[in-house]
Structure 1
Amino acid sequence: MKHSYRLLGAAVACCALAAAGVGAGPAYAAQNMLWINAPYETMLPGADADGAAPERSLDVDVSRDVANGSVPAGRLTVDVSEIASFARVSWPANCVPESEVEAVCDMPAMPSGTESVRAATFALRALPGADDGASGYVRYSAVAGKLTSHAGETRVAVANGPDLALGKVADRRDLTPGTRTSLPTTLANNGNRTAERTLLWLYASYGLDLEKRHANCEYREEGIGTFALCVLDEAVAPGQRYALPTELGVGKQALYERFDHSVRPYSDEALAEMRGDRTWTRGTDAELDLGPAASEPDTGPREDYESVVLEARNTADLRLTGSTVAGAAGDTVTARVTVHNDGPAWVASLGVGAAVATVSFRAPEGTTVTGLPEEDCWPSAGSASPRTYYCKTPIHLRDGASHTFEIPLRIDRVVPGARSTVATANDDPELSIRKFDPDLSNNSAEIVVNR
């Protein structure tokens, strides 16, 4: 019903999670903005035979780009004018309606180190007689101090049918490589029609192992981890809730991991869409089945997509190597700087999308940097000379892998033995090298010209 398939935030596969800012320092010094975090889409079941319609809640969080420094209390503005003809809104105590279709909600402050806050949770219910398929957007904006948000929105529609949702799973920290961990969750139908079958999508990042390869699932391995598509044959009636267990191995290369899963009612078209043109391999272990849910309530199934962060006690030794180049005045030569990951862990920023490493350097004396790729590198702001340049790696680097930057240098005049130091920025608040790298002494190297 909701179809909010944020495949790793749509991010891991395309490695485009982080926007590189151009400024006086590395990419993480980009402008600090507020962001609205709300469901992409939610469905309101229509009224039943008695004229009653179930209530749905919308959780709206506000986050920011950089977690250092404090952000004062602010305001979230919610505009429901597009859904007023088919839905009723119940506002929480921290929201004050300014009209029939707009409310302003008090938003708590974000102390230093806090990445997000819950701004509001409000309830929606389809009006009696609401047309099946009626839809519109709830729109949001936020302000706190001098910071403003990008616009946010949630599509709301009335629909009669199954509405599958997953229970929340707590993040896992301090895991030990070589062990196993369990991620028990629940599958529920919050709609008003039975889901005869369920299509389950799974992703386990590279440092995790889906230990069972079930016969009713298909699997695909990629460099960033394992994907699975499973067809569950148990019918899930409205109001029913089942257990959906997952066992994961924590690999020796595990560090910053994530497990994502989503559900939707099965259809041949949906399965074909999610398979795409990629090759999948069917498992041979016992089928994955839904089981009876525990009697005690969990935090309540909310979304058809959930993501779990898993962190292991592990390290990864990043190491830089430089290069020596030579040429005559007027030549353009290519210096190469390589970031190596000597492991044992791989390093990945699968949520924020930060580069594994950002390196800084200046042109050696007598040379000028020319033609750096703009998508990966940028100069410091201002006209100070010599300028500092920054280049960033991709958002993941596997154990034993490396990434090389090619730096074109125009030799303006020959200075024998001219050199420049290249070093990693070790304190990016989004992915701090200092937190996982036990040996920072090898995190710098030199570019030497005409030794």
Structure 2
Amino acid sequence: MTQQANRRLGPLRALGLVAAASLVAAGGAGTSYAVDTPLPVTITGEDRVALSLHSDNGQPTEQQVDLRLNAPGEPFEGDGIIPTVFTGEYTIRIDATELAGVADVELPCDADGLVAVCSGYELYAGQTYNKVGKIRLDVGDDSEAGDAGSIKVTGEGAGLEFTPLTVDVLVGGAEFLNRELSVPDDLRAGGTYEAPVGLRNAGGLGAEGAVLWFHGSRGVSFPDSYGNCSYAEVTTGPLLRQGTDAICTFPDPIDAGEAYALAEPLKVGTADFALHDVFTYAFSAVGPDGTAALRAAKDYRPGTGADLTLKKVSGADPADYTRYVDVDLPLKNTYDLELTGASLDAGAGDTVTAELGFRNNGPAWLSSQRSGGEPIGFTVAVPEGATVTRAPERCGENTIAEGVRGYFCWVSTPLLEDAEFTFPFELRVDRVVEGAKGKVALPEWDNPFDSDHANNSAWIVLNGSDGSDGSADGGTGDGTDGGTSGGPTPPGSGDGDSGSSGSSGADGTDGTDGSSGDGAGGGLALTGAGGVALIGGAALLALGLGAGAVVLLRRRARQSGGAVA
């Protein structure tokens, strides 16, 4: 049987029961078929698999081909129903006999050697729930470089017309590895790194040509423009996705076992605000099997200068080449995170607003390329005699020191070099306490990238006699300190947390919004799911770090489908 499940989000309409082997309405798309018109079904899956002779080709449980059936119609209707577009028996035949002696094959369903037959009964609109099975391919004892073959996947069923799938398999083809890079320690923001970009063909076959892709995050630029390259710049949207991409094509053959380098180093410029920005690159092959790694270039602009070329490198050390290359640059720059407080006068029963400030005085931004948008947190202690009647949206009640309740606030990253936020706390004075103070504080960590630690704390002062404006005073506080030593890794430190150039963790949207807005809005403390999440997660982390600990809220993993921001 197929591996598809009979999944429903609600009572399934009996769309396929009018005629067991005939067609009916095609679901949300509104397309219908006459009884004598076959339903078109496309067999989908990866159509090319390249097997390496020098690697394990992924984990054994990672199948390279995922076969599904794509039927007409939208996968979901407005009321949560998954439309059934066909009811009746059908079979899918997977024929891998061409791969005998070429590769080891693991087929799904009822397999007899290199042939498998999968059967099914219902089809749903789209391909999400029309699963057939997965195919795993490995090199075998007889596999040699250049071996090739195909898997033919076909289907049969009364009232159905299948579009078949052919999966081409190549063993030991061209396999490009990229030259490792190291950034000079003396590279500073505003400087240019000359990257010795190169490749080595570790495969068993040559390639007809090569394609080079390289990327720089927001603080990286490429001052040269080459005629055989195209460039795309993203300057809007989430900060984590902003930057420059380039694609260059090289038509000359790339011989097996040989190493190549760019005829001149690739210049990688850094902005004055750059700090731990990411530069990454990768070569891919245009091979004799017709596989090309060329990308659609409709959003790219062509280069204007002379062509960038490759030259062969003799005596290259294979240990200098790897599959993935990315570097942080520059490693030297600073930002200045500053908190500002407020000084207010009020009588008993009065309600006042403390406009707390958070800003980055630069010159660097906090790129968060490795942490994927991890927030920065700070604590707010409430002055004696006052009660918070309304807290900013990005603040939640928490234990900020042993036996001391206060608020934990956060600012999303990436954080622009001139970002500025306001956190308005509405306070009701229950009783007048002259000179009542509440400390506002970032963690007291050893952060070499923050150039001025003296302004990492400030005060909310109520009815002060000394005219204090709530600015940082460098004091140790009154037992309501929000900071602690030995805290979390400073943001922007490039600690190796995975995130994609790209990729993984948060998408950076909050970082973009936070860097352009005031970062705070109205909202009663501890209302809704956000407050619960903060108490359940951040509070436990803070207590685990000890009294007075302040932590950075780490976003939930992407696969959990949620984020704290």
TM-score by length of 2: 0.46
- 2:245, 2:60 → 1: CA distance? 37
Percent identity at matched positions?
25
Aligned twin of 2:370: 351
Superimposed CA distance per residue, residues 340-362 of structure 1 (whole angstroms, 9 cap, x where no aligned partner) = 22223333332134647432212
The 8 Å contact of residues 197 and 231 in structure 1, kept in 2 or not, is answered as no
Distance 1:181 1:321, change over 3 A: same
Query: In structure 2, what is the equivalent of residue 227 of structure 1?
Result: 244
Question: 1:373-401 deviations in whole A, cap 9, x for unaligned?
Answer: 4xx555545996542433332333333x1
Aligned length: 315
Report the equivalent of 1:56: 55
What amino acid does structure 1 have at the position aligned with 2:295? Answer: L
Other-structure match for 1:411: 428
8 Å contact from structure 1 (residues 355, 392) kept in 2: no
Q: CA deviation at 1:253?
A: 2.9
Q: 1:322 to 1:125 in 2, by over 3 A?
A: same
Look up the equivalent residue of 1:308 and give its one-letter code. V
Question: Take 2:392 and 2:170, find their aligned partners in 1: how far apart are those partners?
Answer: 51
In structure 1, what is the equivalent of residue 308 of structure 2?
288
- Residue 175 of structure 1 contacts residue 312 of structure 1 at CA under 8 Å; is this kept in 2? yes
- For residues 117-136 of structure 1, the aligned pairs below 5 Å read 126-128=139-141
Moved more, 359-368 or 318-327: 318-327
Structure 2 residue 320 is matched with structure 1 residue 308: no
Change (3 A) 1:197 1:332: farther
Would the alpha carbon gap of residues 127 and 254 (structure 1) be closer, same or farther in structure 2, given more than 3 Å must change? same
For structure 1, the 5+ residue unaligned runs are 1-42, 47-52, 60-78, 88-123, 135-156
Matched with 1:394 is 412
- Describe the superposition over 1:38-90 as per-residue Cα deviations: whole angstroms up to 9, x where unpaired: xxxxx9965xxxxxx7322699xxxxxxxxxxxxxxxxxxx85778x949xxx
Following the alignment from structure 2 to structure 1, what is the Cα–Cα distance between the partners of residues 269 and 340? 34
Q: Mark the CA change 1:295 to 1:405 in structure 2 (over 3 Å): closer, same or farther.
A: farther
Other-structure match for 2:295:
271
Q: Are residue 212 (structure 1) and residue 231 (structure 2) matched? A: no
SS in 1 for 2:284: strand
Task: Give 2:369's aligned amino acid.
Answer: L
What is the CA–CA distance in structure 2 between the aligned matches of 1:312 and 1:333, rounded to whole Å? 44
Partner deviation per Cα, 1:287-339 (whole Å, 9 max, x = no partner): 32222235331524331x32112344333222222346788988987644333
In structure 2, the residue matched to 1:99 is none
C-alpha change, 1:334 and 1:191, in structure 2 (3 Å) is: farther
| Structure 2 residue aligned with 1:339 | 358
The one-letter code sitting in structure 2 at the alignment partner of 1:442 is: N
Of residues 304, 319, 330 in structure 2, which corresponds to 1:299? 319
Deviation of 1:369 after TM superposition, in Å, equals 6.5
Q: Work out which of the residue numbers 309, 317, 338 in structure 2 matches 1:319.
A: 338
Q: Which has the larger radius of gyration?
A: 2
Number of the residue aligned with 1:70: none
Determine whether 1:247 maps to 2:267: yes
Return 383-392 or 161-170, whichever deviates more: 383-392
User: Is contact 1:177–1:314 with CA below 8 Å preserved after alignment?
Assistant: yes
1:446/1:192 CA distance change after superposition, 3 Å: same
Equivalence for 2:458: 445
Per-residue deviation, 1:271: 1.6
Task: Name the amino acid aligned to 2:243.
Answer: T
Summarize deviations over 1:207-260 as a string: whole Å, max 9, x none: 433221223221304356631221313343433321143222344333323211
Alpha-carbon contact 1:332-1:411 (below 8 Å) kept:
yes
Aligned partner of 1:140 in structure 2 is none
Residue 167 of structure 1 corresponds to: 179
Q: In structure 2, do the counterparts of structure 1 residues 370 and 174 end up closer, same or farther at CA, with 3 Å as the change threshold?
A: farther
Are 2:449 and 1:436 equivalent residues in the alignment?
yes
Cα 1:446–1:381 change in 2 (3 A) is closer
SS of 2:277's partner is strand
Q: Is the 8 A contact 1:319 1:340 kept in 2?
A: yes
| Cα distance, 1:421 vs structure 2 | 2.0
Measure the CA separation in 1 of the matches of 2:150 and 2:345: 68
* Residue 261, structure 1, aligned to residue 312, structure 2: no
Counterparts of 2:456 and 2:150 in 1: how far apart (Å)? 57
Closer, same or farther: CA 80–282 of 1 in aligned 2, 3 Å: closer
Asked if the contact 1:203–1:228 (Cα under 8 Å) also holds between the matched residues in 2, the reply is yes
Q: Are the structure 2 counterparts of residues 252 and 82 from structure 1 closer, same or farther at C-alpha, using a change threshold of 3 Å?
A: closer
For 1:282 and 1:414, how far apart are their aligned partners in 2? Answer: 69
Distance 1:264 1:336 in 2: 54
> What is the aligned partner in structure 2 of residue 13 from structure 1?
none
Distance in 1 separating the partners of 2:178 and 2:190: 28
Cα deviation, residue 177, structure 1: 3.8
Higher-strand-fraction structure: 1
Query: Could you say if the C-alpha distance between residues 404 and 58 of structure 1 is closer, same or farther in structure 2, counting changes exceeding 3 Å?
Result: farther
Matches of 2:315 and 2:306 in 1, distance apart? 26
Distance 1:179 1:169 in 2: 17
